[in-house]
Structure 1
Amino acid sequence: MSVADQIRQLSDARKLVLRDVNYYGQVIQATLPIFGPSAHVELRRWGAEFLAEAFASPAIQLGQKETLSLLVLDTLKNLVEDPNQDVLVLRSVIQTAASVYPLALRWIISNAYDTNTWNNMTAIKARILRLWENAPATLRICCIKFAQRVILAQTASINPEPRRGDPLDISLNMIPQNHSVLNVHSMEAEATGLLDRMLGALQENSSDVLVVDATLNTLSILVRMRPTTTNRVMNAVLSFNPLKLANAPMSPKTKVIVRSLEKTVRMLCIHLSRRDPKGPLAARIQPYLERLMQSRAEISEGVSRKRALTEQADGIEAKRQRTAPSLPNLQITPLPPGPHTLADVFTFTQNEGLRKFDVAVVPAPLAAKISVNTIATIDPGLFERALDGIRSRLAELHKAAERPLDPDTTALDVEDDDDYEPDYYAAEDTEQILNKLDSAPSLQVREMEKPAVLGALALPAYKLPPPPPLNPDQAVRVGQGTVTRVFGVMSTLSDPSTKKTKAGVNRLAASSFDKDSWITIITRLATRAAAGLNDISVKDEDGSKALGGTSLSNSIRESLYVYVLEDFRKRIDVAVAWLSEEWYNDRVQQRAASEDGRDVPVFYDKWALRLLDGFLPYLHAQDKVLTRFLSEIPGLNAELLSRVKTLCRDPSMVTLALTSLLYLVVMRPPIRETALDTVQEIWVEYEEARAMAGKYLTKWRPGFQEQQKQLVSANGNASPTGAGQPVVAT
C-alpha cells in the first residue's frame, strides 16, 4: 500500500475519533506500529501530530489519558532519540511529551513498582532538555513549553489538598516524603534550575523574539498556579527591557520585533496586576508600565523627528533643515445665494465625497471620541480661522434675512392693472392668508400680521397632514412585527440567574434592564394590556365586525408559548411567571365582573393546558421539569392532572408521573384529594403502574385497594383495568 493510501486511511481514523473520543484507545494502539522510527517520514509526521492532538484534547477523560500515556512512551522515546529525526516530528513529539509528563508523574506516584515507565519518561526529558541548547527556534519554543509543564509538576501547588482539588493540577504536594522512586528535594531543585534557564532569555536580553515571546507567554500560569515562583519571575520580567533594540538603526524588521516584545510584556504585566489590583505585585508593576510607556513615546517621537542642522565643512552641502509645519490652506468661501442647511454653514471642504458622507451612520460614542481627539490635536491658529469663517457665514445669513425688499420690484398700484395677479409680497400675501384662515385662532393671525408690518416675507405655519387611519388588518400586522421585535430584544439581555441579588416579589417591572424585567413587561402586556376591553367590539365602515381588542394580547401569548417550548427546560421559570400573571388577571377580572353582572373570558386554564400538552411528549424518565412546573404554577385542577396521567401509557414514565403527583399530595394540601383521585385512576387503568401507585395509596388511602378487590369479587372476578371501571374514593 502506498504512503498516500495509508495517510488517507489514517485521516479517516482521525475523523472517527473526533466524532467519538471513546475510539481513541483503539486507534492509538492500532496505529502506533505504523509510525515507528523506521517508518516513512510522512507517516511519522502524521503519527506524532495525531498523538500531540490526542493528549491535548480536553474531551478525553484524565484516566483514559493516563492509560494511553503508558502505551506511547516507548514510541516517543524512540522518535526523540533518533539523531536524524525530522524537525516537524520532533516538534510534535515534544508537545506530546509536555502533555504526558504530568500524567506519567501521577502514575508513578501511585504505582512505585513501575520503574520502567518512569525511566522512559526521564530519558525523554533528558533528551528534550539537551535539544533545548542548539535547536532551531521552532523546537526551542516547544522545549520551553515542556519545561513549563515540568516546573508546574515539580513545584508546590496553591491547593492545600491536591488529591481533593483539581485533578489536572499535578504538583509536588502529591508526592509522599518516603516515596521509593521520586525524591521531592531533587525534583524541586531541578524545577528551580529549569525556571532559571527559562528566565535566562529575559535576563540576557536575547534578540530572538520568538524565544522571548514564548517565554513570556508561559510565565502567567506559573505566577498564578505556583506562588513560590513569583519573585523569580517578576524580578526577571521587571528587569527586562523590550525596547533595547530601539537604540540600533530601526529597520522594518526591528520595528516589528520591538513592537511585539513591548506588547507581550505590557499585556503580561497588565494581566498579573489585574488579579490583585491592590496587592504588592501591582505596586511593583505599575511604575514599570509607566516607564515602559514613556520610553515607547520617546522612541516614537524620536523616529519621527528630523536631525537638527549642524555646521558643515566647506564644499559639503547641508541637508534640508526641519521647519515648523505650515498650516494647511483653508479656503473659506462665502455661501452662494439660496436656502442653506446647518451642514452647509459648517462645511469648508470642496471634496464631494466628504460633503455627501452621512455622519449619522457613525455611532454616537465613536463620533464623540473622534471629535474630542481631533479638537485636542488641531492647530489653534487653524481652529480660530475656521471659527471666524463660521461667524462670517452666520452674519451674512442674518443680514440676508433682515434685508428689505426692493421698492422698484414691489407692485403697490394694483388698482391700475386689470390683469394683476398678486405675487408673494408681504402685504398681499398676508391679506390672502387672512381671508383663507378666518376661522384660525387670533394668536396665529397676530403672528402672521407681524411680518406684514415689518415688511418681511411671512408664511403660515406648516403642519403635516394627519396619517391615514389604519384598518384592523394593518394594525394586526404592525402589532405582530412589534411583538417579534420585543422578543428579539430578550436574546441580547443578561441572564438574571447570574446576578448575585434579586429584587424579590416586590420588584418593579423594568427596574433593571435584564431578561427578568423584560419577561415581566411582556407577560403583563399579554395579560393586563387589554384587561376590561374584552367585551368591546369595533366595526369597520362597511359594518363588518373588526378584530377584538385582545388580538395583540393573544399574539403576545402565542409568541410566549413558542418561546417557552423552544427550550422549555431552561425557560420553565418564564412559563411559571406568565401563568402566574394569567391567574392573577383572571381573578381580578372575575371579581370586577361579579359586581357588574357580566361574563369575562379566562385564559389561565387554556394556556396552562397548552403548555403542559406542548412539553409532555418530550419528557424523559429522569426529567424534573414536570414536578417543578406542577409545584410552582398557581392553580391546578383535575383536567391538568389528567394530562399527567397519560404519561403512564409509557411504562418508563410511570415513576415520573407518580412522583410528581406524590409531591403535590405532600406539598400542596389544597390539591391533595384531586391528586389522590388521579393516582387511583392510574391504579385502575394502568396495570404496569399498580405496584408503585398501590404503595402510595396504602399510605394515603388505605382502604382503596381492599374495596377494589371486593368490587372485583362482586363483579365475578372481572379485571379492574381499563377505562370505564368505577373508582371508589374515600
Structure 2
Amino acid sequence: MTNTHLKHARDLALTDSKYYPSLMPGVLPLIGPNSGASLDTQRFGADFLAEMFASPMWSSEAKQPIALLVLDTLKCYLEEVHDRAIVKGAIQAAASVYPLVYRHTISDPNDMQHWKTMTEIKSNILNRMNTAPPGIRICCVKFVQQVVLVQTAGVIDPRRPDHSDISLALVPRDHPLLTYVQLEAEGQGLLDRLLDIIHGDHSDALLVTSVLNSLGVLMHRRPVSANKILNSVLNFNPLKLANSPMTPKNKVNMKAIERTTRALLVNVLKRNGVERPNDPNNGRIQHFLERMHRMRQDIIEEASRKRPAPSEPTDGLDAAKRQRLGAHVPTPPTATPSLPPGPVSYRQLFTVDPENAAANFDVKMFQDPAIVAQILIPVLQSVDEKKLLDACNVVRSRYLALSQSMPRQPPPPAAPPVDEDEYEPDDYEPEDEEQLANRLDSVGDLAHPTPTAYELPKPPPLTPEEVQQHGELAVRRTFGMINELEEKGKGTKGGFNRLAGSDYGRDAWITIAARLASRASVGLDDPYDGINDEFAVKSVKGNLSISDTIRDLLYDYVIRDWKKRIDVAVSWLNEEWYNDTILAQSAKSSSKASTNGVSIPQKGNYYRCALRLLDGLLPYVAPSDKGLIRLYSELPAVDYEIIAKVKKMAQDPERVSLATQVLQYLHMFRPPVKDIVVDVTAELWRENDRAKPKAGALLKVWKPEILQEGTSGEGGEGGEVKTEGANGVTEVQAVA
C-alpha cells in the first residue's frame, strides 16, 4: 500500500504544486534509506525529490525551508545506496537544492549544520565526475553548472534588481561561513573542469553535448565568464573523432557534437545581434561556423556519398559488364568528316568539327588584334594537348591530299633563240669579284631574313588607386596570417632583444606591421614628410595611405580581444612613439623650423593612435579588469588628454574604483605626471558626485588644499585611506 499512496501523492502534487509543502513531511520518512523501504520505493523517492525541486510551478521561497529537510536523505542516498537510478535522482535533486541552501546560509550565518551537510553532498558528487558511469556523469555536469552559476558574480543593476538570481554578489565580505575568495576560486575551477571535458575524449558524445548545453546558460546568465567560455568553444574541434577510424558510432558521435556546437553558437550569435550588434565576437563566431560547415562537408558528408562513376572507359568488351577501373583501353579515334569535292576554302580546310558552335564564329568582328590575343591565349591553354595534336594531323593530311590532287602547272615557255647577227651586247664594264660577292650577300639577306626575338608587351602602369588597393589586400592577408598563427598557438615570444622577422611567429609579424605603419613613408624625400602627412588634408575622398590602413587593422585586431592583446597594443604604440621622437629630434637639430611653410606639430601619430585606442576599449572595460592599469603603466608617454580619459570611464558608478586605481598607480610609479594626475583627480572630484568619496580620499593625501574649495565639507573626515595598488595589494595611508 505504501507505493500506491506515494503514487497518489505524486499525482496530486502534479495536479497542483501547492500540495508539495504539505505532502513532503509525510512522504520523506517513507522514502529514506534508513526507513527500510524497498529499492523501488527509494527509486520513486529519488525521482520524486528531483521532480519536486525542479518544478517551476512554485516559488523558490516556498522550496527553501523544504530543501533543508531533504539534505540528510540526499546524503544517505549518495553515500549508502549504490543503485544507479537512485544516485542519478539524488544528484539532480541536489542540483536544484544547492542554490536554496546557499541563499539560506547567506541569510542565516549561524546555521552551520545545513551548510556542512550540503558541502559533504557537493564533495561526494564532484568525486564522481571522472569515474562514474556516463548517465551519472551527465547528472554531475548539471550539478556543476548550478555550482558555477551560484559561485560566480552576476550582473547587479540597481535600476532593475533581479532578486531571483542567486550569485556570488549576494555574499557579504565578512560572512563567517562563506568565504568570497574561496567560493569564487572554486567556481572558476569547476568551470575549467567543464571546459576540459569538451577538449578531452569525445568517445562519450552524450557527456560532451551535455557540457555544451550547460555552457549556453552560463554565457547568458554570467556575462563575466562569457568571453572565457566563448574563446574555449571557438578553440574546440567538434570533429575531433575524424582522426580515429570512421566507424558508425564515431560518425554518429561527430554529428551529435557538431550539431550541438552549431546550435550553441547560433543562439549566441542571435542574442548578440539583438543586444550587442557591434560585438567583435560576432565575426569570430561566423568564421568558426563557416569553417565547421566546410569541415563537415569534407569529412562526414563526403564519406556518405555514393561512389562517382569513373572517368576511365570500361574494358571495351561488353557494355553490360562491370566497369574495371584498372583497365587501360585506348580512346577510339574520332571520326573526321572528309573535305567536299571541288575547290576548298581555308575555313573548310581547318574545320575539324563542323557541328561545333565555334565553327560558325566570325573573327572578323574583332578589329583590334590585342583583343584576339586576350581571347586566344586562354583558349589555347584550356585545349587538351592530345586533341590538339590529332587536329593538327588531320589538317596536315588534308593539305597533303589537296597538294597531290591539284593539277600541276606547265612550266613557263622557253625564250626564243636569239639570232647572233641581231645580238647587240650592252656597253658595260664587267663586275669584279668583290662587287659580285656583295650583291650575292644582299640577295641572301633578303631571301633569309634574320629572325628577331619575340617580346611580350609590357603591362600598363598601375594607377594610384590600384596601387592603394593592392597594398591594402597585401596588408589584410598579413593580418589573416597573424590570426591563424594566434589560433594555432605558434606565436612565440622572443624577449626584449628580438629582431623583426627573426622567426615566423605572431610577434614577428606584429612588429613588422607596426614598423610599416610608423616608418613606411617617413624619410623618403623629406625628413618632415612623415609628420606633415598626418595633418594634411587628403585631396581625394576615401584615399588612405598604407600606413593608415595598417593602423586601422592593428586597432581592429587589438579591440577584438584587448585583454589578451595588450602586448600588441603596447608594442604598436612604442613603435609610433619611437618614430615620432626620432622625427622630432631630427627636426630640432635641423636649421629649418618648418617645412614648406607649415610648422611641425608637437604631437605626431602616437598620441592620435593612443587616444583612439583608449576611446575604443574603455566602453568594454569591466570593473574587475586590471589590464587597464597595466596598459596605462606600459604606455611610453602619457599627457593630460590620455589621463583624462578615466574621467569618462568614472561616469559609470561600478567603474569609479578602477578609475581611481589607475590614477593612484600613475601617481605612485610615474613621477613626471604627478601634477597632471592631481589635476585630473581634482576635476573628477569637482565634476562627478559619485566619484567624490574616492577622489577626495586621494586628494587628502596628495593635495588637501583642494578639498577646502567646497563649502559643505566634502571629502569626509580624517582617518585611513585604503587603496588597491596595481599588483592587487591593499595599501593603507594615514590621513590627517
TM-score range, shorter chain: 0.3 to 0.5
Q: TM-score, normalised by structure 1?
A: 0.41
TM-score, with structure 2 as normaliser: 0.41
